[in-house]
Amino acid sequence: MPHAQIERLLDIYDVAKALNVHKNTVYKWSRLGILPSIRLPGDIVRWDLKDIEKFKAQRSLGKL
């Protein structure tokens, strides 16, 4: 089911909105390894919905 997998990938705008931060913050966290990201051909970066949900949960618990 490759299509289902693709639907779970978010772009920078979706991630920034979900985390209530600027898109530059999302890029910075990804570059620092704080927020896992996926590199696709063509220098495209996407984020897995599960990783974002996990990050939000940890952040709300004060672990990040």
For the chain, the domains span 2-60
59 pLDDT tier (thresholds 50, 70, 90): confident
Answer yes or no: is pLDDT of 3 > 80: no
More confident residue, 6 or 62: 62
Answer yes or no: is pLDDT of 39 > 70: yes
Q: For the whole model, what pTM was predicted?
A: 0.80
- What span, in angstroms and rounded, lies between the C-alpha atoms of 37 and 62? 21
Answer yes or no: is pLDDT of 63 > 80: no
CATH of 2-60, one of 1.20.1260.10, 1.10.1760.20, 3.40.50.300, 1.10.1660.10: 1.10.1660.10
Within a 13 Å sphere around the CA of 61, how many CA atoms are in the beta-carbon half? Answer: 7
pLDDT for the residue numbered 7: 65
Residue 4: how many other CB atoms lie within 10 Å: 7
